[in-house]
Amino acid sequence: MSLQEKYEAVIGLEVHAQLATLSKLFCGDSTAFGAEPNTQVSPITLGHPGTLPKTNQKAVEYAIKMGLACHCEIEQYNYFARKNYFYPDLPKGYQISQHTTPICKGGYVTIHTSTGSKDVQLNRIHLEEDAGKSIHDLDENNTCIDLNRAGTPLIEIVTEPDMHSAEEAWHYVTEIRKLVQWLGICDGNMEEGSLRCDANISVRLRGTTTLGTKVEVKNLNSIRNVKKAIEFEIERIVQLLEKGEAVKQQTRSFDASNDTTFAIRDKEEANDYRYFPDPDLAPFHLTETFIAGIKESLPELPAELEARLIATYGLNAYDAGQLCDSIPTAQYFEVVAKHTNHYKAIANWILGPIRQYLNEQQKDFTALTLKPASLSALIELVQSSKVSFSVASSKLLPLLLEKDVDPLQLATDMNLIMVNDGNLLEQWVEEAITAMPDKVTEYKKGKKGLIGLFVGEVKKRSKGQADPKLVTVLLEQKLNQ
């Protein structure tokens, strides 16, 4: 039995997403990223005596949006609790979080992996404030602290121990990032730390149901690192179990320079955070009407939009899924689809050459300047055999992406309109055949693969303007006479 068959990995993820509100969770300090250190820090963020926090309603709305998108039950009776611990970048000595009343309970996130679809079960989504940032690599002898981030609203999305491979975790975080961006509640930027993931991993004998001892790898800042850290941990724990050694419950950190993890502390028992309701913040009650209003405001969700693209435009599931990578991509598709009904061709153009161009330029879809009407005109040129697809994508598109010009005019100016005038084509075909008598003999003896050579010859003689489909038909007619 392979180790793969013998053991089963169990994974639960905690994802922190910074909410894209303009101000902090409990005061008006700006949340903008990249400001001078310690310039967005009022006495309320520092928790000075006499200050009073008050709750940012936008943050509450954003948390509910995510909960509704993840099929959670929304908690109507909420309060904030103080989670007490000491840390240099935690200026108040406690973090305001939710304890017994997470704003969203249960729910699930659907992922699509190589083995099919799966609903990853959520435990909860709760609201809390972020800590400041300790910077260890700025000064040789000191740690610097930037408190700008302290008090920024976060949601923490906690799954059940419901995933079983690094691949599932990879798809889950990808889906979470897509969802928060889709809802416009977080920019999803993992490099800037707007989205961070802690991975909890344990391993047990396949077929058993009790959970093994878990390790927690903290602060993974890319989806790739989530996958690499989990792969490394599964392997490490399996090796320990094989040697009969005990797995220590640990908090670990990931080293991206060699894709390994290392222990930062042993966690023998649960920390005692002395949670208690924050006496400065009144409990808050969400009315049914308030929640219903937020539900109304949700955009069409990715799964709904995918289903609609399939039903309305006859797209396959793969194309629909890819077009729903982001709202701007799907919207662009739908605008182009108003101009031409070659829907499959629109999807191919967007997901092929256009996406490739944007990737190369490291731009996202919102940066695309190609007018939907121009793309549809380009598609029509190909569909009506005026220009071949390869010429359209390699010669016309690069120019159209840079400059707003009429595709037909451009193709005409560049002499790229294909000739499908029968007489002219026939003349080129005759010339090509006369020029290669030996090849004609070989072809007639059965070397049918030579057709490409003849087509190439006609292309050359026509300076690329002969319609290759028509040329092939003509050549076959002549050669098989």
Q: Residue numbers of the site for ligand ADP (CB under 6 A)?
A: 10-14, 158-161, 200-202, 211-212, 214, 270
At residue 218, the 3 state secondary structure works out as strand
Closest CB to ligand ADP among 11 and 429?
11
Hey, is 142 helix, strand or coil?
Answer: coil
User: Could you please report the per-residue DSSP string of 289-316?
Assistant: HHHHHHHHHPPPPHHHHHHHHHHHH---
CB distance 333 to 345 below 8 Å: no
- Provide CB contacts within 8 A for 63, sequence distance 6+: 19, 103, 104, 125, 126, 127, 155
CB of 6 to ligand ADP, least distance (A): 17
Task: State the nearest-atom distance from the C-beta of 249 to ligand ADP, in Å.
Answer: 8
* CB-CB neighbours of 181 under 10 Å: 20
Whole-angstrom Cα distance, residue 179 to residue 187?
10
- What is the nearest approach in angstroms of ligand ADP to the Cβ of residue 244? 19
The first and second tokens of residue 439, run together, are 């090849």
Q: CB 194 → ligand ADP: shortest distance, Å? A: 20
Nearest CB to ligand ADP, comparing residues 53 and 212: 212
Shortest distance (Å) from residue 360 CB to ligand ADP: 37
CA angle 111, 224, 254 (to 5 degrees): 120
Q: Which is nearer to ligand ADP, 24 or 214 (CB)?
A: 214
Count other Cβ atoms within 10 Å, centred on residue 40: 21
CB nearer ligand ADP, residue 92 or residue 126: 126
Residue matched to tokens 């039950």 = 73
Instruction: Identify which of residues 239 and 412 has a Cβ nearer to ligand ADP in the complex.
Output: 239
C-alpha span between 372 and 249 (Å, rounded): 55
Nearer to ligand ADP, 127 or 455 (CB): 127
Q: How many residues does the chain have?
A: 481
- The residue (of 13 and 429) whose beta carbon lies closer to ligand ADP is 13
Which residue number has the CB closest to ligand ADP? 12
Q: How far is the CB of 220 from ligand ADP (least distance, A)?
A: 13
Minimum CB separation of residue 394 from ligand ADP in Å reads: 48
- What's 394's DSSP letter? I
- Strand 73-74, strand 77-78: pairing: unpaired
The residue type at 164: H
C-alpha radius of gyration, the chain, whole number: 30
Would you say 96 or 309 has its CB closer to ligand ADP?
Answer: 96
Q: Tell me the CA distances in angstroms from 460 to 46, 156, 396, 478, one per residue in order.
A: 75, 62, 20, 19
Nearer to ligand ADP, 211 or 311 (CB): 211
Q: Which two tokens stand for residue 343?
A: 């829907």
